[in-house]
Structure 1
Amino acid sequence: MSTPPIAATPTQPTTQPATLRPLARGTLGRRLVVRVAALVAIVAIGLSAVVALAAYNIQVGQVDARLDRAISRQGGPGPGGPSSGGPTPSGQEIGTIFFTQTSVLTSGVILVDRASNDGVRYTSLSADAQQQLAALALGTGARSTVHLTGYGVYRVTAASGGSTRVIVGLPLSQVSSAMTSLVVFEALLTGAVIVVAVLAARSVVVHSLAPLNRLAATATAVSNLPLNSGEVEGIVRVNAADTDPVSEVGRVGLAFNHMLDNVEGALASRHASEVKLRQFVADASHELRNPLAAIRGYAELTRRERDQMSSAMAHAMGRIESESDRMSSLVEDLLLLARLDSGPALDLRPTDLTEIVLNATSDARVAGPDHRWSLALPNEPVFALGDRYRLHQVLANLLANARTHTPAGTRVETAVTVADGMAVITVTDDGPGVPPELQATVFERFTRAEVSRVRIQGGSSTGLGLAIVAAVVAAHHGTASVDSRPGRTVFAVGIPTATPDPDQSSR
């Protein structure tokens, strides 16, 4: 037989406090750090790009200035230039190219060595480079950056005179080398700035959000207090240091403390009302016992003369006796619930549940002979830490509930199992079942499911039997649950297991 899941009682909070991690995924702190780091990265990369562009333009400007001087020293096209084989003006840089283009002749050279101002050595440009230079559409004084095949990137300018055009170019290899070094340095510096920004932002954010995290910890602690009933103690408050109205978090902490004051006052008022109500129920029930006992006694006295009464009178006296019995049972149940609510004095000791199940089922078989009763017990006794008489009452109420609210011929099985350190008693019947809308409140007081679960003729129900079951089980730190559908209803209670006393286990 499968055991249904055991539902936690309302008085036992199941939510555990979550560990507060300021930079966990999805937290405000993590988002702030990521956004600050992204902002710093964008600014640092932007500044690096601007600096690199400015440095490049400055160096290209310096190359352009040298280029202007080079073409002015060249003296323009005609005799005296390197392309004409005449003497070359001093001051030219190694790698400088000179290209002359006329209507009948094109030639170009590159300065490859300089021994002194008067000792220079040129070599002719390749045909591909000369074709590239000849194809350039440069006006006089115009500058352009070109990639010459076999020579690299050059900055060139042109000068024209008549039918002759001279192009002079300077290499940008030094500029490229310097820019490469600058970009690498800026990349390393930007990475370092981002890392420092992340660490600094993390420290600042964690420190700044610490009051908010403490406020969340306080809220978590309060949310895990059992506030549903009884006297509530240990409601913590936000520290005074976190209630400074100057800051936003301080105002939240101040409002939170004010809310907790109101909640604590409301809970205290509710507890006082509960105490008064329980005392009233206990006092009223106690005072009702004497007149009820007198009514029952006088009704029983009339049995001797009922054969002399009219049938209507005899029926009325019988109903008075029956209803006085029912009201006495209701008063006893109310007294028991009042005692359980005020903190029952239970005689907790290792108790053999199999023996209780046997005795209670035997009593139920006598009370309901028209039902089919069966047992499913383990081979070894199962011991739980409980009060023998109260646990017997729990099982008696469950069996009476099955007997009262199911038709004749219903099969009722009582089983005992052990699961996860709990001794579980289940009462299963194949009756009509409990409606789904009533299952959530079936253990509350005065809840009745008479619409679906049929009461037998002459049956009686106060609506307190299952409420007593839940109260007694909760007093044993156990659990109670119901799982019902048409044709199968399972009531289950779980009580913490216990090690039997040596004298009990030897019986």
Structure 2
Amino acid sequence: MSVSGVVVGSPEHPRRSGVLSGWTLRRTLVTPIVALFALVTLLSGVGMSYLLENALQRELDHRVASTARGFGPDDPGRGPEGQRRRVVGPDMLAVVVDGSVVRTNTVATRGGQREALNEQQIRALLQAGLSEQPSTLDLGEPLGPYRLIAFSTPEGAQVVTGLPLDPMLDSVRRVRLITVGLGLLGFVVVGLGTAWVVGRALRPLERVAATATRVSQVPLSSGEVSVTERVPLRDTDRRTEVGQVGAALNDLLEHVDSALRVRQEGEARLRRFVADASHELRTPLSSIRGYTELSMRDPELPSDVRRSLTRVDSESHRMADLVEDLLLLARLDAGRPLAREPVDLTRLLIDTVSDARAAGPGHQWRLDLPEDAVEVTGDGARLTQVLVNLLANARTHTPAGTTVTGRVRREGSGVLLEVEDDGPGIDPALVPTVFERFSRGDSARTRAGTSTGLGLSIVEAVVGAHGGSVHVDSRPGRTRFTLRLPAATTDD
């Protein structure tokens, strides 16, 4: 099981160091167990083979010594003239040397035959420096290695007796092969069994990890969110380690869900307050503007009073715009549905740029349009407000002479809408927060008028309500706002 997916070397997923880095928990548990079993099996096989070989060799030496005693002075097979009549046993080597003359140089075979030693084998026996302590000597083909003892008789003859090592070595080799075969079989059985046992033991942990993964994919930043995922009850037994993790995760999810509910209730209250306050402020603002306009019609009004009333009228208009913006954002936050009708973005961009040209004659206004009309499905009034806000933002925060370009085109299954200017650009420190409410870039761009700081927030909220996205890319000499909207379809 892989509890955590890891992108190696990324800052979000730092790379672990160590021999077991990057290993899953199953692999981390199974591999050492199987390796320890293999090591124990290897050591046991080597030790058993060594002990068996030593035991067989001691038994063989005992048999060789017993054979040598049969050629001694108390040999019951000695004849009246002192000649040996002992029959050499199967596979037994018996060589009697009297000075440089070889009296007996035969080897008894298992078939009851006797095979004479050749001169090279006899020379090897004479030059091997044999003694009454058993030692090993390879006599070559077809005899092979022998375990030999040499001693002298009272008559001065030298007797060499011995037994072959091949039967013992064959027994040891068979034991080693059996040990290796059983070890490999045990290796496979232990590996598969350990993998099954560990996998079964890790299933609860996998279920806990799956629950955590599903929770991590739930967007919790805003909106009405409820964390309903929980670890299954069977994986929350606090008597086990995995159960403790599952129970702790459930407790954490309960706290998170409670905190989200409290946050949602607070946001809902705040939205209701903003909507109610905005709605209630519209009536007194309309009254202030009406009485201001009525008072300014008096021809005998003193000039200083007229200037004050003009200022009051200007600020009341600005406050009315702010109230309307707040009311719109509150409605969008509450999820109020927008109109769904075909909107010609090409015509919409032409109209809004024409209005912007009339409001900002000191700027250069350009259009980059495709040959065919580009349509989306949405709320025409709100999309008009989006374009008006973007064009007003470019006009307000750039000096006279700046070129502002409106551009629309199809891109794949969507529509791309851009507003670009060649002004001084936005301060890089403000770019991440440019779409936040009451965010202002006056310190970075030339300010030609007043701003509520809600224009770009409305742009993002309206585009998001249409299922699109907005992005800004700014540097000195080019600032571009890019809107991506889903294109109109036949179903729409």
Q: Is the 8 A contact 2:88 2:108 kept in 1?
A: no
Aligned residues: 466
The answer to whether structure 1 residue 417 and structure 2 residue 413 are counterparts is no
Q: Is the 8 A contact 1:478 1:496 kept in 2?
A: yes
**Mean Cα displacement is larger for which, 60-69 or 214-223?**
60-69
Partner of 1:342: 334
Is the alpha carbon distance of 1:423 and 1:181 closer, same or farther for their aligned partners in structure 2, counting shifts above 3 Å? Answer: same
Alignment of 1:229-308 (within 5 A): 229-305=222-298, 308=301
Q: TM-score by structure 1 length?
A: 0.84
How far apart are residue 307 of structure 1 and its match?
A: 7.6
Q: Secondary structure at the match of 1:74?
A: coil
Deviation by residue 1:426-465 (Cα, 9 ceiling, x = unmatched): 1111111122222211111111111222122xx1211111
How far apart are residue 343 of structure 1 and its match?
A: 0.5
How far apart are residue 398 of structure 1 and its match?
A: 1.3
Is the alpha carbon distance of 1:358 and 1:126 closer, same or farther for their aligned partners in structure 2, counting shifts above 3 Å? Answer: farther
The answer to whether structure 1 residue 156 and structure 2 residue 148 are counterparts is yes
Q: Is the 8 A contact 1:344 1:475 kept in 2?
A: no
Deviation by residue 1:72-123 (Cα, 9 ceiling, x = unmatched): 2233799x99xxx9545235222x334556765678834154775xxx5241
Partner of 1:11: none
- The one-letter amino acid of 2:458's match is I
CA RMSD of aligned residues (A): 2.8
Distance in 2 between the 1:418 and 1:41 partners?
Answer: 65
Alignment of 1:468-483 (within 5 A): 468-483=458-473
Distance in 2 between the 1:501 and 1:52 partners?
Answer: 81
How far apart are residue 466 of structure 1 and its match?
A: 0.8
Distance in 1 between the 2:419 and 2:214 partners?
Answer: 38
Q: Secondary structure at the match of 2:70?
A: helix
Q: Is the 8 A contact 1:218 1:236 kept in 2?
A: yes
Q: Secondary structure at the match of 1:201?
A: helix
Deviation by residue 1:282-320 (Cα, 9 ceiling, x = unmatched): 111111112222222233234335785245x44333222
Is the alpha carbon distance of 1:230 and 1:133 closer, same or farther for their aligned partners in structure 2, counting shifts above 3 Å? Answer: same
- The one-letter amino acid of 1:97's match is L
The answer to whether structure 1 residue 146 and structure 2 residue 137 are counterparts is yes
Q: Pick one of 29, 34, 38 that aligns with 2:35.
A: 38
Is the alpha carbon distance of 1:136 and 1:402 closer, same or farther for their aligned partners in structure 2, counting shifts above 3 Å? Answer: same
Q: Pick one of 340, 352, 375 that aligns with 2:344.
A: 352
- The one-letter amino acid of 1:481's match is H
Q: Is the 8 A contact 1:110 1:124 kept in 2?
A: yes
How far apart are residue 366 of structure 1 and its match?
A: 1.7
Partner of 2:475: 485
**Mean Cα displacement is larger for which, 425-434 or 170-179?**
170-179
Q: Secondary structure at the match of 1:437?
A: coil
Q: Is the 8 A contact 1:76 1:166 kept in 2?
A: no
Consecutive unaligned residues in structure 2, runs of 5 or more: 1-21
Q: Is the 8 A contact 1:112 1:122 kept in 2?
A: yes
Q: Is the 8 A contact 1:114 1:121 kept in 2?
A: no
Partner of 1:379: 371
Alignment of 1:62-73 (within 5 A): 62-73=59-70
- The one-letter amino acid of 2:35's match is A
Partner of 2:89: 92
Higher relative contact order, structure no. (Cα contacts within 8 Å, ≥ 6 residues apart): 1
**Mean Cα displacement is larger for which, 100-109 or 393-402?**
100-109
Q: Is the 8 A contact 1:422 1:496 kept in 2?
A: yes
- The one-letter amino acid of 2:361's match is P
Is the alpha carbon distance of 1:160 and 1:86 closer, same or farther for their aligned partners in structure 2, counting shifts above 3 Å? Answer: closer
- The one-letter amino acid of 1:415's match is R
Partner of 2:447: 455
Distance in 2 between the 1:279 and 1:107 partners?
Answer: 126
Is the alpha carbon distance of 1:111 and 1:315 closer, same or farther for their aligned partners in structure 2, counting shifts above 3 Å? Answer: same
The answer to whether structure 1 residue 467 and structure 2 residue 457 are counterparts is yes
The answer to whether structure 1 residue 498 and structure 2 residue 491 are counterparts is no
Q: Secondary structure at the match of 2:425?
A: coil
- The one-letter amino acid of 2:151's match is A
**Mean Cα displacement is larger for which, 63-72 or 266-275?**
63-72
Consecutive unaligned residues in structure 1, runs of 5 or more: 1-24, 503-507
Q: Pick one of 148, 158, 163 that aligns with 1:170.
A: 163
- The one-letter amino acid of 2:399's match is P
**Mean Cα displacement is larger for which, 259-268 or 319-328?**
319-328
The answer to whether structure 1 residue 109 and structure 2 residue 105 are counterparts is yes
Identity of aligned residues (%): 43
Is the alpha carbon distance of 1:359 and 1:167 closer, same or farther for their aligned partners in structure 2, counting shifts above 3 Å? Answer: farther
Q: Pick one of 37, 45, 49 that aligns with 1:48.
A: 45
- The one-letter amino acid of 1:376's match is D
Alignment of 1:211-226 (within 5 A): 211-226=204-219
How far apart are residue 485 of structure 1 and its match?
A: 1.5
